[in-house]
Chains A and B, each alone.
Chain A
Amino acid sequence: MTTVAHLHEETDAPYALSHLDALESEAVHIFREVAGEFEKPVILFSGGKDSIVMLHLALKAFAPAPVPFTLLHVDTGHNFPEVLEYRDRTVEKHGLRLHVASVQDYIDAGKLRERPDGTRNPLQTVPLTEAIQSLKFDAVFGGGRRDEEKARAKERVFSLRDEFSQWDPRRQRPELWQLYNGRHAPGEHVRVFPLSNWTELDVWQYISREGIELPEIYFAHEREVFQRNGMWLTAGEWGGAKEGETPETRLIRYRTVGDMSCTGAVDSDAATLDAVIAEIAVSRLTERGATRADDKMSEAAMEDRKREGYF
């Protein structure tokens, strides 16, 4: 013990970790636990900022070896073209393998029916859970953060899902210390959330510190949008302005990236990382509150979707 006390006098300060270093270290620990304990893990990768940060952390966790996981994207068929382009470029760059589960394929095959409101986000659950079952993934990394939504605040880092991928908040395993219990029966799987303890601001600060590239739609640009249910939406193959909805060109950016039909843009002139961080630091709206239509469907919308197997 005397040597250690001496050490402290010598160098003093360096033993504290900044909050970003602490979060990074914890997330890397989670990735390595999964690599050590599971047979066939997969990272849910959408080309959104949280999954991009997840992939960046995974690359660091196993360097100089390749990431020992494949990627899975649930493509609603209504994704932003810029994001799909980013997704494919990233997969190529790191020599990764990507599985795509397509909502459009399910609709074409008559296994899913288009909703009257045209929103495909809730339809993702079926292709997601079927891909997990058929490809026999036993650990599925998601970029979900507990600060996003109050149902997610209750989510474990290792979240056991039954053979129907269902989440039962009342039957979660207590999670103690950093001892994650990933045991599961055949057919069950574990959802793993390495960014559980990160906030939206942490994610952006980390992106800035690490110099991580993002799809351009996260930064302010001029775009033709129209307003629906208080949100600025971009027209696309999924549809566009209806009668009484007038398209207009605005300076906007996206705070989250999801399905085009339910992800709203925010008015913003933040064209750089520093400007985005400054904007978020003073924002009085939550990330999902500002931009996600599906969370507004009911007071427990997220909880209900999570129970069904949504990420």
Chain B
Amino acid sequence: MTSTTEQFADLSATTLLRFATAGSVDDGKSTLVGRLLHDSKSVLTDQMEAVEAVSAQRGQDAPDLALLTDGLRAEREQGITIDVAYRYFATARRRFILADTPGHVQYTRNMVTGASTADLAVVLVDARNGVIEQTRRHAAVAALLRVPHVVLAVNKMDLVGYQESVFAAIAEEFTAYASDLGVPEITAIPISALAGDNVVDVSANMDWYGGPTVLEHLETVPVSHDLTACPARFPVQYVIRPQTAEHPDYRGYAGQIASGVLRVGEAVTVLPSGRTSVIEGIDALGESVDIAWAPQSVTVRLKDDIDISRGDLIAPSASAPATTQDVEATVCHVADQPLAVGARVLLKHTTRTVKAIVKEIPSRLTLDDLSQHPNPGQLVANDIGRVVVRTAEPLALDAYADSRRTGSFLLIDPADGTTLAAGMAGESFASTAETTVQADEEGWDF
């Protein structure tokens, strides 16, 4: 109990890293996640006892660490992972939120889901098989979603005699491929999730490797601050008007700063109306501040009493985005029902939901070889393609390349509310010169 104060201080000081895992069925992803949780002492006694009991009941020699992560009845029965699960663990240095994505069932949409909020993705490869189609697919999704850091974990090194040459060849091939797709940072680590090499503890079997273990890398990789390096974007979520005796005239615009920094005194433009004003005050959850930044939830007050409602965007007048009704984007189709040209949909962008129509589907991408198929007519589950969508009202949309938050959107089926597709506005490696459609008169900002 003497370390109480220190421990508390340590825990308070930590930052949060969100990361996602991706791997094919037998690459040992569940074992890696189990190992990471187990060796970082994040598995508690009662959880471990449950795993030991089930493993023994099934006649297995050692506790099956994969059982730590398979939570649903059907998953345990079938020994597969059905859906993305989120796991939490902490070390003295950092807190982690892990999006544990399944390897084989409906792989693309699940990995897109996990990667959409991740600062880092761990792509798992079986050292015996090297870079396979699935690996390329994972690299492509990480690139498409613009996950800032990618870790290539070359697993099962114990089954290739811990040979440096095997690791080096895989690392080189993957790095070349992922770099071509625009993945900004790649770290390759040789591991054995089963034996515990280089996951949490440094491997005694691979003297030739001088880099970090998986956990050490997760603990030290810089958490992306690019949100604040972009122009400020403040989607209005809700208008706060108490109309009470104490606050008869208070009118604040509540929201979470999507990117950049807001300052009191700054000249701002409200979109899509284009009206301008000046930030009079910023209330950061009860405290009045001069400056606030992404991703803080705040309430902004303006000097002028102008008409602003949910769905509007407040941005610095000096760097306000253009508005458009013609959205060109790369989408990942996540629903079982197809998305066809001519479909009437809802488009949800930040806090704004508008009617929209799918004008064109210029191309569909095959992730395995990155080949483009022009005018497929429709997209089905797990397809990635380019779409051109016309919206009923103008949107202040950024390029996804500039802001994951204000460049992303959902397409929703108005009939039953199903989320149809995840959209990323603007150019990506999935757009090609041949399939790019003519820009409309409105023009794009990127």
| Set B255, B285, B416: member contacting A63, Cβ < 8 A | B285
Closest B-chain residue to A307, C-beta based? B73
Q: Residues 2-14 of chain B: 1 if any A CB is under 8 Å from the residue's CB, otherwise 0?
A: 0011011001111
CB contacts under 8 Å to B, within A2-23, are 4-5, 7-8, 14-23
Q: Is A77 an interface residue (CB 8 A)?
A: no
> Known contacts being A60-B286, A205-B12, is A28 close to B241, with CB within 8 Å?
no
Contact in complex: B16, A25 (CB < 8 Å): no
Q: Is A308 an interface residue (CB 8 A)?
A: no
Question: Cβ of B412: which chain A residues have Cβ within 8 Å of it?
Answer: 181, 183
Contact in complex: A170, B231 (CB < 8 Å): no
Q: Is B425 an interface residue (CB 8 A)?
A: no
Q: Is A96 an interface residue (CB 8 A)?
A: no
Closest B-chain residue to A147, C-beta based? B88
Cα distance, A202 to B8, chains bound together (Å): 11
Query: How many residues on the B side are at the interface (Cβ–Cβ under 8 A)?
Result: 85
Contact in complex: A32, B297 (CB < 8 Å): yes
Contact in complex: B4, A278 (CB < 8 Å): yes
Cα distance, A17 to B223, chains bound together (Å): 10
Question: Cβ of B237: which chain A residues have Cβ within 8 Å of it?
Answer: 29, 32-33, 35-36
Q: Is A185 an interface residue (CB 8 A)?
A: yes
> Known contacts being A26-B295, A285-B44, is A201 close to B11, with CB within 8 Å?
yes
Contact in complex: A15, B228 (CB < 8 Å): yes
Question: Cβ of B405: which chain A residues have Cβ within 8 Å of it?
Answer: 177-178
Cα distance, A174 to B16, chains bound together (Å): 23
Q: Summarize B's interface: helix, strand, loop or mixed.
A: mixed
Contact in complex: B83, A22 (CB < 8 Å): no
> Known contacts being A66-B242, A146-B86, A290-B46, is A36 close to B72, with CB within 8 Å?
no
Cα distance, A252 to B109, chains bound together (Å): 47
Q: Is A154 an interface residue (CB 8 A)?
A: yes
Q: Residues 175-208 of chain B: 1 if any A CB is under 8 Å from the residue's CB, otherwise 0?
A: 0000000000000000000000000000000000
Contact in complex: B109, A284 (CB < 8 Å): no
Q: Is B172 an interface residue (CB 8 A)?
A: no
Question: Cβ of A169: which chain B residues have Cβ within 8 Å of it?
Answer: 72, 74, 82-83
Contact in complex: B110, A174 (CB < 8 Å): yes
Contact in complex: A176, B422 (CB < 8 Å): yes
Closest B-chain residue to A182, C-beta based? B417
Closest A-chain residue to B254, C-beta based? A32
Contact in complex: B286, A21 (CB < 8 Å): no
Q: Is A222 an interface residue (CB 8 A)?
A: no
Q: Is A24 an interface residue (CB 8 A)?
A: yes
Question: Cβ of A202: which chain B residues have Cβ within 8 Å of it?
Answer: 95
Q: Residues 267-311 of chain A: 1 if any B CB is under 8 Å from the residue's CB, otherwise 0?
A: 000000011011001111110011000000001100110000000
> Known contacts being A170-B83, A185-B417, is A286 close to B46, with CB within 8 Å?
yes
| Set B15, B76, B238, B404: member contacting A18, Cβ < 8 A | B15
> Known contacts being A185-B416, A196-B86, A274-B4, is A205 close to B11, with CB within 8 Å?
yes
Minimum distance in angstroms from A305 CB to a CB of chain B: 12
Q: Is A116 an interface residue (CB 8 A)?
A: no
Contact in complex: A16, B223 (CB < 8 Å): yes
Cα distance, A32 to B83, chains bound together (Å): 27
Cα distance, A146 to B86, chains bound together (Å): 7
Q: Is B97 an interface residue (CB 8 A)?
A: yes
> Known contacts being A181-B348, A181-B410, A183-B417, is A17 close to B46, with CB within 8 Å?
no
Question: Cβ of A5: which chain B residues have Cβ within 8 Å of it?
Answer: 229
Question: Cβ of B13: which chain A residues have Cβ within 8 Å of it?
Answer: 18
Q: Which residues of A are in contact with B by a Cβ distance under 8 Å?
A: 1, 4-5, 7-8, 14-26, 28-29, 32-33, 35-36, 60-66, 146-147, 149-151, 153-154, 160, 169-170, 172-179, 181, 183-185, 196-197, 199, 201-202, 205, 274-275, 277-278, 281-286, 289-290, 299-300, 303-304
8 additional A-B residue pairs with CB within 8 Å, beyond A28-B285, A176-B422, A282-B7: A22-B16, A65-B241, A65-B242, A66-B242, A150-B71, A174-B113, A181-B348, A181-B419
What are 22 A-B pairs at a CB distance below 8 A? Answer: A4-B228, A7-B261, A8-B229, A16-B15, A21-B296, A32-B255, A60-B285, A64-B240, A65-B242, A65-B247, A65-B250, A146-B88, A147-B87, A173-B418, A173-B419, A174-B110, A176-B410, A275-B4, A277-B8, A284-B45, A286-B46, A286-B47
